[in-house]
Structure 1
Amino acid sequence: MTEQRDYRSTVFLPKTDFPMKAGLPQKEPGILARWQAEQIYAKTREARRGREKFVLHDGPPYANGDMHIGHALNHILKDMVVRTQTLLGKDAPYVPGWDCHGLPIEWKVEEEYRKKKKNKDEVPAEEFRAECRAYAQGWVNVQREQLKRLGINGDWDNPYLTMDFQAEATIVGELLKFAENGMLYRGAKPVMWSPVEKTALAEAEVEYEDITSTQIDVAFEIVESKVPELVGAHAVIWTTTPWTIPVNQALAYGPEVEYSLVDCWLSVGPDDIESGAGLARACEAAPWFYDRQRFLIATELLPAFTARLNSQLKGIDVSDLGIERLSFVLDPASGEDGASVRNSFKGSDLAGTIARHPMHALGGFFAEPRPLLAGDFVTTDSGTGLVHMAPDHGEDDFELCKAHGINPKFVVEADGKYRADWPWLAGQGSVINPKFNAPDGPICSDLREAGALLAASADYKHSYPHSWRSKAKVIYRCTPQWFVPMDKVMTHISPKSAADRRWESEGGAIDPKEEHLSDAPTLRQAALAAIADTRFVPDKGRNRIGAMVEGRPDWVLSRQRAWGVPITLFVNRKTGEYLVDEAVNDRIRAAILAHGVDGWSDEAAQDLLGNEYKAEDYERVADILDVWFDSGSTHAFVLESGRWPDLLRPEGYTGPKADLYLEGSDQHRGWFQSSLLEACATRGHAPYKAILTHGFTMDAKGLKMSKSLGNTISPLKVMETNGADIIRLWALSVDYTEDHRIGDEILKGVADQYRKLRNTLRYLLGALDGFEDAERVTVAEMPELERYVLSLLGTLDKTLRAAVDAFDFNTYVRVLLDFCNEDLSAFFFDIRKDCLYCDAPTDPKRRAYRTVLDLLFHALVRYAAPVIVFTAEETWGSRYPEGGSVHLLEWPQIPEVTADVAKWQELRVLRQQVTEAIEPLRRDKVIGSSLAAQVTVPASAPEADLAELFITGTVTRGQGAEGMDSVRVTPSPDHKCGRCWRHLPEVAEDGDLCDRCEDVVDVLEAGA
């Protein structure tokens, strides 16, 4: 037997130094350092200068704490937007920013004081603010490095910070615009208040958690009414906030609600009795039943009220009295001697009725009459159908009482305790303490002693607002605050819509068919018009923010804290009006620009007022601005100040300055809305053209992440073990428009997808080893398979462009991966590996294949660059070591190629059938590989080199009736080529060469 020759040296195997194992955690920091050294961001700006601009304005995260997975998702999405727009050739700068004022930072600094057992109120304000500034800067520096590690490309050396003096001066300037335009007022309204943090809160600073509260039913004796039988009866209210009873000033009824006047007595057995041991025992718990009181209740709620009363008897032991049952019974009041007594009536009949407070014996405030007022908000969903009104502590309460001349009393202090001079429970609290409100707490005990507490139980489960920082319960508290009116006409703003202004700024004419506001708009109207003009991704965001703006109350601007931009107003002590003087305002802005927020102080007041006014005549407002006003003003100093020239729009442009705002869906009530209101009030239009919102990241089971559950996923740890590109691929693979998941198994799946994509790039590098332009062929010279693949590439290109326009990154990543895995690795590369390995270097088919591979490389490395930023750079540098950064490249130019796609789809289906038919023979070891298979296909199969397509020895078409519509596979009778391993008829015996391989080897040996 002749010894077989080894032909491995004649086979052209892919060759590359690009490793199969990524080693991202070790490799990425080096790539990042090179980008910084080579100033890639600056080079990108220079390369795109003068091009069409795309501005994504970064929403500022708080500078307090390490980056979490939500930060990572958000910034990766932003980076994807910026990089894809840059790839399309646009000038897309990215300036990152941070929100540096407000409670998140101040609360942390206070915690440090508490640890040292120090009182921050004893520290000079400037010193305390300096510590807040240092704390914020420290976390800015930490988060900046963490975000850079994710591969986010931006102006990291020059970010925007709301605590920069220029930013603070601009925020003050925006506030003064509101003042100058009459869009500020000081008023006393109930606002969300945190007794723990001692400040008002914005709605966006509040989260809702389920709690269990004390519910009580309280009787208010009616002393005057147009309905005579009501006099002496008791109006019953129900509440889950017992602490508001000491501040009650009225009762509310529903004008259309049906009410009943009922008797209440005790039933202790088969027969009703009115005396005896059982009754006496029960009356120990409910003495007010002894006299068979009459109660006013909404008819529909009588059964629930009875149930609450009976719950009070569960703790009374009457077993020793031989009593079968003990319960409260309610029946309509009955007349005597045939007299007509009114049992039920509409709420409107209660007009003019007066009750008295249960604690009226205390005199003073508590002895004042409590009118029953008609309230449209009163329902029969729960309670008694009568609502006690405390204008200090409820929005409906405040508005209804205000309409009837009843004013707040400001009873509850900032820390949640009652005023020291209040007649009942003076100096006690805190009102959010469950023990204070408990059935045996001081409020309920006093009401019980006064004979007014009908029922009390600590078992009412409901959702309740909490501060999202301290996690403590909040209350509605009426205090003097500064507001922006939502429904005041803005005479300084044109009635034209935002669309009109944008149309004009771009040189167009007004569409006469478009509807306009006939008069100057209110802030609410302007904001709603701007929402209609804004693009939302996903579109459901439009309805969400629209509903919020449509129903929101006036904007509460003031906060009672130290670390923030001051409300720089001087209020005349006699008139109560704030000063509007252009010269004073100029001095205020200049002082803040020079000294930051410390420029607003009592010591500086006279200098700021100048010679025209006396400081003693004016109150210097000490409140700071809602931090949402800070962030809502960022468009003014980031996009308009000129500090970042790359962000400026062309001169004369008057529309929205940002193309896109991108944040989590919670920002519909936060940054999106505050920015919208700020810009609409000062410029008449939104600051953005489009809003993109993403959902929240849940754990693998779909649960919200929390430290207490131990289910958090740290992006920092993921980068340490997997690398940043894995997080990026995950973030851009999920459907970000909804809540989405992450977990170890999910990340393993992402890592597997990454490996497949990396191997595609690695194969391209190896297969293109030594490729030169001289080897390239034209599309017209290419075989049909190459033209088909180029047509698929063209389709992919269009799909990716559409995905970029739609910000549909889930589709972008999915179709890119599918193309690499299914169209290339599992199909094109698999088929053409024989051509690559075994054809002569000069063979036209091999040259065509390598030409297409080159086109694929340049396209895929660009498509992948915004997604796996480090790997794309590594890939590009592996082929072009001196070729600069892949991130300076532009979108690839794909040749327009037509192909018979339907034919090739049919062939791919047939190929799959052949593969499935071969597999049993391989599994049973009848054949070693598909190259040893002989395949018969239906005669109707499309024309093509089917053996090459199926990677088999030979393929024949079925003849006659048998095999005309099915695939058959048998072991090939032919011998195996010693070089390409195909089983072919021309091979005399195993190890010999087929005709193709013999020709190639002859040429190689002749050349040697």
Structure 2
Amino acid sequence: MNITNPDLSPARKDYSKTVFLPNTAFSMRGDLTKKEPVMLEAWAKTDLYGKILAKRRGAKSFILHDGPPYANGPIHIGTALNKILKDMVVKSHALMGYYSPYVPGWDCHGLPIEQALLKEMKMGKRHIEDIPAFRRSAREFANRFLDIQREGFKRLGVLAAWDKPYITMSNSYEGTVIKAFRELLEKGHIHRDKKTIYWCVSCETALADAEVEYADKTSPSIYVSFPLETLPAGLYAGAPGCASIVIWTTTPWTLPSNMAAAVARTEEYRVLETGGRHLIVADKLADAFLAATGLEAVKGALVAGEKLVGLKYGHCLAPHLPEARRFARQVIAADFVDMTTGTGIVHIAPGHGEDDFHAGKKWGLEIFCPVKEDGRFNADAGIFEGLKVFEANDKVVETLKADGLLLGHKKIQHSYPHCWRCKQPVIFRATEQWFLKVDLDGLREKLLKAADGVRWLPEAGHERMAGMLKTRPDWCLSRQRYWGTPIIAVYCKECGKVQTDSAFLKKIEERVLAEGSDFWFSEPVEKLMGPGHKCSCGAAEFRKEKDIMDVWLDSGVSWYAVLEGGMLGPGKFYPADIYLEGSDQHRGWFQTSLIPSVALRGG
């Protein structure tokens, strides 16, 4: 091209007359900001969703059951993608001739809502004095963001029963949750017990396995000697106290709660002679122990783990604990003691560890837990009273060092459980809670069989789910919070027995269906129970349960409310054809929906 010739310059050419296009109703510009509202308004006015359903009514159904997002903020890329994918599935099946109603849901209870509200109110849990008023505020908060999210999803072009969603804080839904709880209780699946469970000291509540995430944490790594008060025959002829067993721990704050030390019966243990002391560790770990502590020692006699069982030792913090807590502890045997890390001798605190708890039950140990809800030690912890558990680590280490019992100390980084909401480290804490038994009446095996009958995409999801079901503990259902479906239970003030009268539970259930559950938090127990009620012990004074249900049970029985509750129209829709969620829901909603479903319906 000769660009110097002005007659040939592109600016001088009128190319519009050289291109021939057919006439079209499509405008040259998108003008989406103007057209989108018009399109959405037209869909709403013509009830496009309703017309599609009416056209397919009577046809074979295809049901996508919606996993509910939390109503605690505007939609984001994750929730938007989730709804778009579901919309594609539902619309495509409607086009293929299926009756495919889509009832969206919202999770409106629980810690996510409470935390967002408390942040907005600039206050903490301990500042809540008027629980009914706080629940009203939580309801308003959830409703506000439910409406915001609903409009956001509509703008994405998602067709659904937006005017009739399932909402976990609605009267009918709360009534369904309480009904499911009652039926599980009547079947024996739900019970109250004292167990060691995950506890968030920041949120001051129990947590289920699905509410725990793992992240790196820096912790102290210490080796501590426990002076033996009795010795196996022929091992050492010196004075008692000159020989010690050695433990390793990354949680020094649990040492005030020590109740035993566990060894492996079938392993051999080595006596290490160093600086006038005789230290006993697993023979397989002796070299690693010496390398970690920098101690020099002469290797002495070997002793079988079996011979260590039953020996008495003095508590490493005895002088600093209340007099009643200074008694001698004993060496026990446990199958979980391994030879990969530490010393082959495990410090046992039944109030602060799952394995420890089971060992404590087996050996008849006290399930001792001197830690309060806020993570501070009570008076049973002696000089550590008032300290928060993680703050106490340094003081425990300093005390052990001053007493000459600290053999090694350094900092390590390791994977540690954290709260899913506040992201703070959690602890194990022994408390009385409500649990769903996963091993009653072969439930675990039934869950695995049900998982086998599901088509998983990708297929690796099946292995992941099966692995979780094989190892999961009983489900901790109770939460020490305020915004949620209440656990309907009453206790005798005299004997502490839980009153599980079905007639009473059904009466409360019917009230909740009619008016919601707020009355449970405001009415006195006498009014709730009515006149003439007596415990089997003869007492007539009661107190009501203050805990609420795990929010995962709320959403976990959504199939009961939606698929069996008539929300999809006349007909039978249980079970759903598809659950479509992110992979995080294998340990979340997928699992917590499967458990009550199989427990109540058998699969």
- What's the TM-score once normalised by structure 2's chain length? 0.91
Q: CA deviation at 1:185?
A: 1.3
Query: Cα deviation per residue 1:63-112 (whole Å; 9 max; x = unaligned)?
Result: 11222221122111111110111110111011111101110111122223
Partner of 2:489: 569
Letter in 1 for 2:593: S
Match of 1:662 in 2: 580
Matched, 1:481 2:448: no
Equivalent residue for 1:388? 347
CA deviation after TM superposition for structure 1 residue 676, in Å: 0.7
Partners of 2:270 and 2:575 lie apart in 1 by 61
- Aligned residue for 2:228, secondary structure, equals strand
- Cα distance in 1 for partners of 2:76, 2:324 equals 52
Deviations 1:290-315 (A, max 9, x none): xx2111112222233223323xxxxx
Q: Does 1:60 align with 2:68?
A: yes
* Distance (Å, rounded) in 2 between the aligned partners of 1:573 and 1:666: 42
1:628 match: 552
Distance 2:210 2:18 in 1: 70
Partner letter of residue 248 of structure 1?
Answer: N
* 2:387 counterpart of 1:416: no
Q: Are 1:252 and 2:258 an aligned pair?
A: no
Inter-CA distance 383–421: structure 2 relative to 1 (3 Å threshold): closer
Structure 1 24/260 Cα, relative in aligned 2: closer, same or farther at 3 Å?
A: farther
8 Å CA contact 2:370–2:380 kept in 1: the answer is no
2:470 aligned residue (550, 555, 562): 550
Q: Secondary structure at the match of 2:44?
A: helix
- Name the counterpart of 1:978: none
Shift of 1:614: 4.4
Amino acid at match of 1:649: G
Give the aligned partner of residue 173 of structure 1. Answer: 179
- 1:618 and 2:542 are equivalent in the alignment: yes
21 and 376 in structure 1: CA distance in 2 versus 1, 3 angstrom threshold: farther
Structure number with greater Rg is 1
Does residue 403 (structure 1) correspond to residue 324 (structure 2)? The answer is no
Structure 1 distance, partners of 2:37, 2:286, is 70
Preserved contact between residue 211 and residue 419 of structure 2 (Cα < 8 Å): yes
Contact 2:322 2:381 in 1 (8 A): no
Residue 199 of structure 1 pairs with residue 205 of structure 2: yes
Which residue matches 2:222?
216
**Alignment CA distance shift 1:375-1:17 (3 Å):** same
**What is the RMSD of the two structures over their aligned residues, measured on CA atoms?**
2.3
Aligned to 2:407: 454
Alignment gaps of 5+ in structure 2: 1-15
The whole-number CA distance in structure 1 between the counterparts of 2:376 and 2:577 is: 48
Change (3 A) 1:252 1:10: closer
Find the aligned partners of 2:233 and 2:358 in 1 and give their Cα distance: 27
Residue 119 of structure 1 and its aligned partner are, at CA, apart by: 6.7
* Residue 445 of structure 1: aligned partner: 398
Asked whether the equivalents of residues 65 and 576 of structure 2 are also in contact (C-alpha less than 8 Å), the reply is: yes
Alignment of 1:756-775 (within 5 A): none
Letter in 2 for 1:158: K
SS at match of 2:352: coil
Report the Cα offset of residue 13 of structure 1.
5.3
Q: Distance in 1 between matches of 2:553 and 2:476?
A: 10
Equivalent in 282, 292, 309 of residue 308 of structure 1: 292
Deviation at 1:23, TM superposition (A): 4.9
> Which residue type is aligned with residue 195 of structure 2?
K
Q: Which moved more, 1:228-237 or 1:189-198?
A: 228-237
1:464 counterpart residue number = 416
**In 1: Cα distance, 2:134 partner to 2:401 partner:** 47
Structure with more relative contact order (C-alpha pairs < 8 Å, separation 6 or more): 2
**Cα deviation digits, residues 510-563 of structure 1 (max 9, x gap):** xxxxxxxxxxxx221221221122222222211111111111111111111111
CA 1:460–1:120: 2 relative to 1, 3 Å: closer
Does the Cα contact within 8 Å between 2:322 and 2:380 map onto a contact in 1? no
SS in 2 for 1:424: helix
Percent identity, aligned pairs only?
Answer: 41
**Quick one: distance in 2 between partners of 1:363 and 1:624?**
35
Aligned with 1:352 (options 310, 329, 349):
310
Matched to 1:419, the amino acid is N
| Number of residue pairs aligned between Structure 1 and Structure 2 | 579
- The residue aligned with 1:235 is 245
Which one-letter code corresponds to 2:305 in the other structure?
G
* Number of the residue aligned with 2:562: 638
SS state at 2:518 partner: helix
Supply the distance in 1 between the matched residues of 2:303 and 2:232 (Cα, whole angstroms).
12
Change (3 A) 1:649 1:364: farther
Greater shift, 221-230 or 182-191, is seen at: 221-230
Instruction: List per-residue Cα deviations over 1:138-180 (Å, max 9, x = no partner).
Output: 1111111111111111011121110001111111111111122
Checking the alignment, whether the CA contact within 8 Å between 1:584 and 1:610 is kept in structure 2 is no
Structure 2 Cα separation of the partners of residues 185 and 363 of structure 1: 34
Which residues of 2 match residues 966-981 of structure 1 at below 5 A? none
Q: Structure 1 residues 368 and 602, CA, compared in 2 at 3 Å: closer, same or farther?
A: farther
| Correspondence 1:897-908 to 2 at 5 A | none
Q: Kindly provide the CA deviation profile for residues 310-352 of structure 1, in whole angstroms up to 9, marking residues without a partner as x.
A: 3xxxxxxxxxxxxxxxxx312213xxxxxxxxx1233223222
Structure 1 counterpart SS, 2:386: coil
Residues 1:560 and 2:480 aligned together:
yes
Counterpart Cα distance in 2 of 1:60 and 1:378 = 42
Q: How does 1:719-734 map to 2 (within 5 A)?
A: none
Q: Where does structure 1 lack aligned partners over 5 or more consecutive residues?
A: 1-7, 266-291, 311-327, 334-342, 490-521, 686-1008
Q: Give distance in 1, aligned partners of 2:544 and 2:234.
A: 55
Matching residue of 1:684:
602
Determine the C-alpha separation between the residues in 2 that align with 1:486 and 1:250.
29
What secondary structure, in the 3-state scheme, does the structure 2 residue paired with 1:446 have?
A: helix
Amino acid at match of 1:618: F
What is the CA-CA distance between 1:363 and the residue it aligns to? 5.7
Letter aligned with residue 225 of structure 2: A
- Name which of 496, 501, 505 aligns with 1:585: 505
* Equivalent position of 1:261 in the other structure: 271
Q: Among 329, 336, 348, which residue is 2:296 paired with? A: 329
8 Å CA contact retained: 1:113, 1:120: no
- Cα distance in 1 for partners of 2:521, 2:415 equals 41
Alignment of 1:359-370 (within 5 A): 359-361=317-319, 362=321, 364-370=323-329
Whole-angstrom CA distance in 2 between matches of 1:367 and 1:589: 49
8 Å contact kept, 2:263–2:309: no
* 1:186–1:482 contact (8 Å) kept in structure 2: yes
CA contact (8 A) 2:309 2:332 kept: yes
Q: Which residue of 1 aligns with 2:592?
A: 674
How far apart are the structure 2 equivalents of 1:10 and 1:423?
Answer: 94
Cα distance in 1, alignment partners of residues 462 and 502 from structure 2: 38
CA-CA distance at 1:20 after TM superposition: 6.5
Q: Counterpart in 1 of 2:3?
A: none
Q: Give me the whole-angstrom Cα distance separating, in 2, the residues matched to 1:353 and 1:244.
A: 21
Instruction: Give the distance between the partners of 2:133 and 2:510, measured in 1 at CA.
Output: 22
SS at match of 2:24: coil
Mapping 1:503-902, distance limit 5 Å? 522-573=442-493, 576-601=496-521, 603-614=523-534, 616-642=540-566, 644-646=567-569, 648-650=570-572, 656-685=574-603
Give the conservation status (yes or no) of the 8 Å contact 2:197–2:428.
Answer: yes
| Cross-structure match for 2:56 | 48
